[in-house]
A and B are shown apart, each in its own frame.
Chain A
Amino acid sequence: MILAPKAAPAGGAFAAVLAAIFCLAATTARAEDTYRVQEIAPGVFAHQGRYEIFTPRNAGDTSNAGFIIGRDAVAVIDTGGSARVGAALLKAIRARTQLPIKYVINTHMHPDHVFGNAAFEDESPVFVGHRKLPRALANRATRYLAINEELLGKEAFAGTRIIPPTLLADDKLELDLGGRTIVLEAHKTAHTDNDLTVLDKQTGTLFLGDLLFAKHVPALDGSIRGWLALLDQLKDRKDVARVVPGHGPAAMAWPAAMTAEQRYLGTIADEVRAMIKEGRTLSEAMKSAGLSEKDAWLLFKEYHARNVSAAFAELEWE
């Protein structure tokens, strides 16, 4: 960073100012210097985000991201939760290849997956997403930016903008990286109404975005019925050797990776349905449904009651 420790100042207010600047620089360095990617299959890399909500300290590095290197070009899948995290991902890519970044793909609308897009603008990639992603982002842009700037703080948030996709996947979309084809699939409403998966055909690596949570409790912002139905479909995919969850380890075996999430969502759906049938209320459900899952997940307190609320508001219309 700008200041090295040896540039220690002479004293007084000047020292305090410099120390403050150095602290900022150190915080900044932390987010970037701890940014690691793993090669989870030949030419396929993934970064594991932290199991945390946004804080100035993590700079929005709370979700997984990855990239695939073909013969002629690179595709990036998700960009992290700030321009700063996006820049760290770009640096990790450039440490491995100088090929052009042809595509930046977002798996869904959530800030921790799209806020790093701005870091890639100078590479002039095509931004790609679900056909419903532009609408979802536009509807939420103002609020997403305001809330997350507050959570991350001005420093970590600096440079962050929302860049919507221009290439849209209606159903299936194949992209060629030169001798390497990746298949994008736009799904029906599940985690959100704009979930997109990316399959590297050559290695059978499937980037699931937030259709898959591991360790980090799932967050429901779409349809619990749709999500459970989609997991059922994906479970039997024979072309998938490993998956990258949106939150969880960088790579996991399929379909074993989805067992916990399927149980979690299934438990909520079953218990909420039973409560609706008994004539119980939303408040009652939020206090009692799905609590058997409490010790199985990180960040349960932050997301669980809200998940129950969303499930109840959906399932009471069945």
Chain B
Amino acid sequence: MFSSALLRHRRLIVFLTLGVVALAVLTEQVRTPDRRRVGWAGEAVEFALAPAATVLSRAGGAVSGAWSLLNEIGALRTENARLRAEVGRLREENAGLRPVAQENTRLGALLGFKEHQPYQTVATRVIGREPSDWFSTVLVDRGTLAGVRRNDPVVTSEGLVGHVIETGLTWSRVLLLLDPRSAVGVLAVRSREAGVAEGQGFPVLRVKYLARDADVQPGDEIVTSGLGQIYPRSLVVGTVIGISHAAGDMFQEALVRPSADLSHLEELLIVVRGGEQVAR
């Protein structure tokens, strides 16, 4: 009878029992001054649960530490990204300033060259380049309005570049020394041996018609001879880098590397009044 009643109300009994235990543990603390002294029941519970609490605290600390670490990593990543962006921006700025500095150097050299030349020149800027590999011409931003005419020589501070082959009002096309259509009367400065420097479509000129016994050696400087009716005398063309001399040939040939960097032309000088010998 009693046991069946217990069985019937076991839910309530369990609930009430646990409730009473909880209240006992709770009220035990009220009698203590700091209200967190656990009393005999609490002490038993804490004794049983202290290891779990220790593990939990450590686990919590570990999780918290890991979380802090993750946060720190996140913050570092953000900072890293910001710094990378800053470096990128500064590099971009630097890259933007470098050409200005280089241009400044080039223009300074060009100005110095211009001041020491007896010729009247027009400064111009390259605005276009022949895209094919076989011909070498550039388009510049000065034309007949600036006094530029066909066959005007074109130079940089480093040396001869070529000559004008077409002109418009505000533009001109310059045939570079490297173009196979280009031929320039030249002299070896040291031995005064004369020849004709022709373009070959690649960055080395071939000086033809040098006398078979001409004294030309690698390292010799080559300048314009002034005999071709286009170029004035003594403009630097380049430096001899090799001699080809086959048995039985009437002439020898020299390979010359142009002094001007013809593959990276930006600012040029057009010699507009270079000599009266030029037929325009």
- Whether A associates with B in a native complex is no
Interface residues of B (CB under 8 A from A): none
